[in-house]
Amino acid sequence: MTPLNPTTPNETRDASAGPDSPDLTAAPQPAPAPAPALLPIATGRETAHTVAALLRASRTRIAAIVLLLLGGSSSTLLVPRLLGWLVDLVTGGAGVAALVTPGVLLLLVTAVSALLAYAGIRLLVALVQELVSSLREDAMGVVLAMRASQAESSDSSDIVSRVTGDVESVTEAASGVLPAVTQSSFMIVLSLAGIAAINPWLGLAALVAVPVQVLATRSFIRRSRPVYAEMRVAEAERGQVIIEGVSGADTIRAHRRQAHQLAEVDARSLRSIDLQYEAARIRTTFFGRLNAGEYLGVAAILIVSFWLVQAGAVSVGGATAAALYFLALFGPIGSLLSSIDELQLAGVGLARLVGVVGAGRHRVSDRQGDVAPAAPVEVLPETQSGPSAMPAIAVDAVDFSYDGERMQLSDVTLTVAPGERVALVGESGSGKSTLAQLIVGAFDPTGGSVLVDGRTAADRERDASVMLVTQEIHVFAATIAENLRFGAPAASGEQLADAVREVGAEWLLELEDGLETRVGASGLALDGAAAQQLALARVLLRKPAILVLDEATAEGGGDDPLGLDAALTVAASGRTSVVVAHRLSQARVADRIVVLRAGKVVELGAHDELVRRGGEYARLWAAWQSASPAG
C-alpha cells in the first residue's frame, strides 16, 4: 500500500532559456514573468447594460414587486392623515365613540401596509438573489474557461477577490440594502406629495432640506467612488502578497527573506487601512451634512405650520399630519442616503464582476469573428507512412517567450502521427514542458503555429479530446469515486474499479470504505504519487484521443516503486500521446524521442537509433543508467 501523507505535489515548468542542470529529475526554473495584470473593470454604462439585460427576462415579477411596494408605501402614508383626523376630533371635543372609526382604520392600514411591504420585499430579494447568482456563475464560468496564459498573466488574488469578496458585497447590498432603498424611494415621493396635498406652502417648506442633501450626496459620491475602487485593488494586492508568502514559504525561509515579506504585507495592509480611514472620514462628513439638512427641514415645517394655523389656512390636525409626514421622511431619506455607502461598494463589486463576464464575452466574440480558414498543414515525409496523411499534432517553426524577451523555444518543428507515442527529453530548462503547454493550447506561440487535428488552440478551446496531465494534481475534497468521475460523470462503479486496477492502485479498493473514502482537505490526505495514480485513472475513464503527460509520474521516485511508468503506458496505449519524460525508461518505450536543448530540437528518432548515434541522447542515457539503482 502506498504511503499517505499531507504533502502537495509541486508545480513544475520548463521555462528557462537554457539547461541549468544535467539532472533530469530537477524541477525546471521558471523564467521571469511580467507583473500580473488585473482583469478588466466594466464602465458604468457596461454594468447598467448587463444588469438591464438580466432584468428584461423578469418584467412580470418586477411589475408585481413595484405594485406591492407602492401599495405598502401608500398604505403607510395614510397613518399621518388618520392621526391628524384623531387630533382634530380630540381638539374639537368629540366623544370616544367618534374615535373608534379612525382608530380601527389605523389598525387595518398598519396591518395591510406591513403585509404588502413584506410580500414585495420577499419577491424583490428572491429576484435579486437569482440575478446575482446568475452573474456569479457567469463570472466563475469565465474564470474556469480561462486559458493558462490568461490566468497566469492575471493576479490570482484579483480573480479570487472578484468571485468571493465582490460577490459578497453585491449579495449583501441586494438582500439588505436594495429592498430598503426601493421602499424608501416610494415613501419619500409619496410623503412629499402628502405634505403638498395638505398645503402647497408646507410642501415648499419641506423642500428646504433638499439642496443640502443633494449637494452632500453629490460630494459624497464624487469623493467616495474612487476611494472604494482603490480599496478593492489594495485589498486584492494585499491578498496576493499573503498568498505568495504562504505558497512560497519554503523559498522565503531558504533565502532568509522573512523580514522582507512581512514588510511587504505591512506596507499593503497599511495602504488598505489608510484607504478605509479616508472612506470613514468621507462617510462621517456625509452623515453630518444629512443631519443638518433634516434640521433645516423640521424648522421650516414648524415655522410655516405655525403661520398657516394662525392664518386659519390649515387645521391643527392638518399641521400635525404635515409634521408627521416630514418626520416620517427622516427614516426613508436617512436609509436611502446612508445606503449610498453600501451601494457604492456594491457598484464597484458589480463593475468588477461584469468586467470578468465581459472579458469572457469579448473572448468568445473575437474567436467567432475570426472566420479565416486554418493554414494548410505541410505533412513531413516521416508522417506519411502512418495511418493518416494528416498529423494529429503539427508544430511548425514555433518560437515562444513567456516575457517577450528571452526565448524558451526557437524554431521548433515536430509532427506526431495519429496513435504515435512521442517522448520529450532534455535537461532541466530545455523547453520540454513549454512545448507540452503549447500543444494543449495553454499558451499561444510567439511565432509559428501549433495545430492539433488541423485546428488551433482557439478553435478547440472546449474540445474534450485533448487532455493534459501534469505533475501538479488537484485532489478534490470528496470521495475517491467522485474524484475519479470528475472527467467521466456517468462512469459506473465497476468502470471506476477497473480503471483503478489498470493503473496499479488496487490499494484504493482495499481501504475500509473503498472508493467511497473521502480524500482531500476534508478527508484522507494522498501523497503526490497516489494523486498521480488517481490522475492516470481519470485518463482511462475519460478516454481522450490525444494525451499530453507533463512529468505526470515524477512523484514515483527514481526507482518507481508504485509502478507509475507501467500505469503511464496503460494510459497512453491506443491514443496519440506526448510524454515529457521524467525518467528515461519512459522514453525508451516511445515510438520516437525528441531531444531538446536550450529550446531547440537537437535530435529526433527511436531509442536504439539515438543511442547508436552517440549524441546528446546517448549521453543522457548513459548518465541515467549509471544513476539508476539497476545500473
Q: Give residue for cell 542542470.
A: 21
Residue 422 has a pLDDT of 92
Listed range (183-192, 346-355, 483-492, 539-548) with the worst mean pLDDT: 183-192
Residue 377 has a pLDDT of 30
Q: Is pLDDT above 80 for 192?
A: no
Residue 17 pLDDT grade (very low, low, confident, very high; cuts 50, 70, 90): very low
E strand or H helix that includes residue 548 = strand 546-550
What letter does residue 9 receive in the DSSP assignment?
A: P
C-alpha cell at 36: 500580473
Domain with CATH 3.40.50.300 in the chain: 393-627
C-alpha cell at 97: 365613540
Q: Is pLDDT above 50 for 435?
A: yes
Determine the Cα–Cα distance for residues 32 and 34; give it in Å rounded to an integer.
Answer: 7
What letter does residue 556 receive in the DSSP assignment?
A: G
Give me the helices (H) in 370-470, please. 432-440
Residue 289 pLDDT grade (very low, low, confident, very high; cuts 50, 70, 90): confident
Angle at alpha carbon of residue 219, lines to 214 and 223, rounded to 5°: 150
Angle at alpha carbon of residue 431, lines to 421 and 10, rounded to 5°: 90
Give the chain's count of helices (H) and strands (E).
21, 11
Q: Which residue has the higher pLDDT, 617 or 165?
A: 617
Q: How many CA atoms lie within 13 A of 76 on its CB side?
A: 26
Q: Is pLDDT above 70 for 256?
A: yes
Local structure of 423: helix, strand or coil = strand
Q: Is pLDDT above 50 for 3?
A: no
Phi, psi of 578 (to 5 degrees): -125, 125
The model's pLDDT over 546-574, given as tens digits with 9 standing for 90+, comes to 888 887 666 555 555 557 778 888 888 88
Report, as an integer, the average pLDDT of 187-208.
75
Q: Which residue has the higher pLDDT, 166 or 436?
A: 436
Determine the Cα–Cα distance for residues 12 and 26; give it in Å rounded to an integer.
Answer: 9
State whether the Cα torsion 562-566-568-571 is positive or negative.
negative
Report, as an integer, the average pLDDT of 162-190.
70
Determine the Cα–Cα distance for residues 268 and 245; give it in Å rounded to an integer.
Answer: 13
Report, as an integer, the average pLDDT of 114-143.
78
Q: Is pLDDT above 50 for 373?
A: no
Residue 354 pLDDT grade (very low, low, confident, very high; cuts 50, 70, 90): confident
Report, as an integer, the average pLDDT of 584-593.
87
Listed range (369-378, 446-455, 586-595) with the worst mean pLDDT: 369-378
59: left (phi over 0), alpha (psi -120 to 50) or beta: alpha
Residue 56 has a pLDDT of 79
Residue 587 has a pLDDT of 86
C-alpha cell at 173: 447590498
Q: Is pLDDT above 80 for 619?
A: yes
Residue 596 pLDDT grade (very low, low, confident, very high; cuts 50, 70, 90): very high
Phi, psi of 602 (to 5 degrees): -105, -20
Residue 247 Cα distances to 11, 39, 60, 307, 576, angstroms: 11, 22, 50, 73, 35
Within 8 A by CB and 6+ apart from 244, the residues are 261
Residue 595 pLDDT grade (very low, low, confident, very high; cuts 50, 70, 90): very high
Count Cβ atoms within 10 A of the Cβ of residue 543 and give its class: 0-12 exposed, 13-18 middle, 19 or more buried. Answer: middle
543: left (phi over 0), alpha (psi -120 to 50) or beta: left
Residue 295 has a pLDDT of 80
In terms of average pLDDT, the best of 57-71, 179-193, 341-355, 416-430 is 416-430
| Gyration radius of the chain's alpha carbons | 35
Q: What angle do the packed helices 78-91 and 316-369 form, to 10 degrees?
A: 180
Q: For every residue of 29-82, which 3-state class applies, written as one string?
A: CCCCCCCCECCCCCCHHHHHHHHHHHHHCCHHHHHHHHHHHHHHHHHHCHHHHH
C-alpha cell at 494: 465497476
Question: Mean pLDDT in the chain?
Answer: 75
Specify the pTM.
Answer: 0.52
Contact by Cβ (8 Å): 507, 478: no
Contact by Cβ (8 Å): 524, 4: yes
In terms of average pLDDT, the best of 18-22, 68-72, 118-122, 157-161 is 118-122
Classify domain 393-627 at the CATH topology level: Rossmann fold (3.40.50)
Local structure of 467: helix, strand or coil = strand
Among residues 514, 134, 541, which one has the least CA distance to residue 350? 134
Q: Give residue for cell 421602499.
A: 183
Count Cβ atoms within 10 A of the Cβ of residue 626 and give its class: 0-12 exposed, 13-18 middle, 19 or more buried. Answer: exposed
Residue 31 has a pLDDT of 41
Q: Give residue for cell 418586477.
A: 62
Angle at alpha carbon of residue 530, lines to 526 and 531, rounded to 5°: 75
* Residues recorded for the chain: 631
Listed range (205-209, 234-238, 560-564) with the worst mean pLDDT: 560-564
Contact by Cβ (8 Å): 233, 306: no
Q: Is pLDDT above 50 for 446?
A: yes
Residue 498 Cα distances to 276, 502, 540, 541, 569, angstroms: 57, 6, 9, 9, 16
In terms of average pLDDT, the best of 84-93, 200-209, 417-426 is 417-426
Determine the Cα–Cα distance for residues 631 and 473; give it in Å rounded to an integer.
Answer: 30
Q: Count of CB atoms within 10 A of residue 23's CB?
A: 11
Q: Which residue has the higher pLDDT, 603 or 147?
A: 603
Determine the Cα–Cα distance for residues 343 and 624; give it in Å rounded to an integer.
Answer: 64
Determine the Cα–Cα distance for residues 302 and 322; give it in Å rounded to an integer.
Answer: 9
Q: Does domain 38-197+338-363 have CATH number 3.60.15.10?
A: no
Angle at alpha carbon of residue 569, lines to 567 and 572, rounded to 5°: 110
Determine the Cα–Cα distance for residues 475 and 532; give it in Å rounded to an integer.
Answer: 10
Domain with CATH 1.20.1560.10 in the chain: 38-197+338-363
Determine the Cα–Cα distance for residues 239 and 369; give it in Å rounded to an integer.
Answer: 37
